[in-house]
């Protein structure tokens, strides 16, 4: 969800928040990056036995 919002803000050139000089597009990109990283770590930690088994 955060990735889709960030993409929309980037495509629309941050039109809504640019008036108030808030870089919401950049904030959403960083938030999406952090959430994706945490999700990846969580996925790996929950499935590490299966991942290591297949190596």
CB 24 within 8 A of CB 17: yes
In angstroms, the CA 21 to CA 15 distance is: 10
What pTM was computed for the model?
A: 0.79
Cβ-proximal residues to 50 (8 Å cutoff; 6+ apart), any chain:
none
Which pLDDT tens digit goes with each residue over 27-42? 999 999 999 999 999 9
**Residue found by looking up tokens 């919002």 in the block:** 5
Question: Please, which pLDDT band fits residue 53 given cuts at 50, 70 and 90?
Answer: confident
Q: How many domains does the chain have?
A: 1
Indicate left, alpha or beta for 3 from its phi (over 0: left) and psi (-120 to 50: alpha).
Answer: alpha
């Amino acid at each position: 969800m955060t990735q889709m919002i960030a993409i929309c803000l980037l495509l629309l050139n941050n039109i809504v928040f640019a008036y108030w000089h808030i870089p919401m597009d950049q904030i959403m990109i960083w938030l999406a990056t952090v959430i994706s990283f945490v999700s990846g770590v969580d996925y790996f930690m929950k499935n590490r036995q299966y991942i290591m088994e297949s190596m």
